[in-house]
Amino acid sequence: MAEFKELSPDAPAAAKLMNWVDNRFPASKLYKEHMSEYYAPKNFNFWYVFGSLALLVLVIQIVTGIFLTMHYKPDAALAFGSVEYIMRDVPWGWLVRYMHSTGASAFFVVVYLHMFRGLIYGSYRKPRELIWIFGCAIFLCLMAEAFMGYLLPWGQMSYWGAQVIVNLFAAIPFIGPDLALLIRGDYVVGDATLNRFFAFHVIAVPLVLLGLVVAHLIALHEVGSNNPDGVEIKKYKDASGKPLDGIAFHPYYTVHDIFAVSVFLMVFSAIIFFAPEAGGYFLEYNNFIPADSLKTPSHIAPVWYFTPYYSMLRAITSQMMYALVACVLVGAVLGVLKAKIGGLFKAVIVGGAVVLVIAMLMFDPKFWGVVVMGGAVIILFFLPWLDHSPVRSIRYRPDWHKYMYGIFVINFVVLGYLGIKPPSLINERVSQIGTLFYFGFFLLMPWWSRLGTFKTPPDRVTFAAH
């Protein structure tokens, strides 16, 4: 048991109160370890504000969600009406609802930018693999949370979007129909589905999400933050053990984050007050129509932040399967010819490729569409082991690497745009090319990430006072 620290009887009341707390809870210790004595690299740029903004949006979503649940009714007969009641009759209910719906899109905007920063600066490289894995798990939970929340307004797009996505699970061989039944809670999307999605949306997934956020931050503060140069600041320390290239997170970076929060809230408020539906991208117009199981909308598409993956799902057709089979066979041949492994492992590669090709030809393309859609997210977890570049940061990689990342971003945006559009032959072909590039970017990364002439990273961070 730790000894209690005593203060002078003449100490200020605030100091006495803080001492009383510290003797029972490590408040000051936690503040020092994670704020005032947590040393971050001094060369952070604007890319490093999106983590804090993601935390802010998470708080906004939790607070507005609590107020929405006070009036929302998870009943198929009453859900749509309760949302209309919130919008029209609850004092400031329209503001809370728009903050929550806009916050969902804002969450994905800042998370996508946060992940892109990690991608270009190599923040997933050793020793930060767990930080990246926790971050990808947060992203996965966020997608589940958004999908389940999307059903709750019980509008036309909510109902039919859920119908399409849940029915995709039925395409999984052997367990698909039972899995889809388990998710729906009934033979069709209905009251049981709404109730269980509500329970998951407000209780189960947020608890997991909060736990992963805490784990993400603990892992970050254990190994320290990466920086635009991709060099470790713990290498050089002064006599007191403080990194020479580090500065205290508080007050220096808290000021930066407060400025970023101010700019974000201005943009966020402008959208809420002037364009909360964002032209149908944040809130689709079909969702202002009550769910009707007898009337299918002319075009069903998910919200914008799911559309890149939805586009990949639609890209997997019978014709596309032959291209995928060819990719598997070429990959197996290259693996056997190029890999410096024994004959047994080469036989395993060939056998695995043959089994995979047979499975690809046996099962329905819709099943492989589901696999591709899920694989597009799961592959991110393996990024720390796919990148074989000798340097971390994009700053010291060959210039053509920057173009590669730029094309990747453009490809992702194009896939997102095509996911919103109705199916057509040209859209299908572009989606298929984009899907192949997306997976090629990651699966070929062990090869292309080592190519080119790399610059020598500095021994210490490059920093200019501003």
In 3D space, the residue among 426, 149, 147, 156 whose CA is nearest the CA of residue 300 turns out to be 156
Name 39's bridge partners.
248
Q: Which residues of 311-321 are buried (b: 16+ CB within 10 A; e: fewer)?
A: bbbbbbbeebb
Diameter over CA atoms, the chain = 83
Q: How many CA atoms lie within 13 A of 265 on its CB side?
A: 9
> CA-CA distance, 401 to 30, in Å (whole number)?
40
Name 40's bridge partners.
247
71 is in an annotated binding site: no
What stretch of H or E contains 41?
A: strand 39-41
256 is in an annotated binding site: no
Question: Taking the C-alpha atoms of 80, 86, 87 and 89 in order, what is their torsion angle to the nearest 10 degrees?
Answer: 120
Indicate the burial class of 291 (C-beta count within 10 angstroms; 0-12, 13-18, 19 or more).
buried
> CA-CA distance, 426 to 171, in Å (whole number)?
26
Phi/psi region, residue 122 (left: phi>0; alpha: psi -120 to 50; beta: rest), is left
Residue 80's alpha-carbon distances to 153, 279, 305, in angstroms, are: 6, 21, 23
Place of tokens 């100490």: 11
34 is in an annotated binding site: no
466 is in an annotated binding site: no
Question: Which residues are documented as binding site for a ubiquinone?
Answer: 221
Question: Which residues are documented as binding site?
Answer: 100, 114, 201, 216, 221
Question: Which residues are documented as binding site for heme b?
Answer: 100, 114, 201, 216
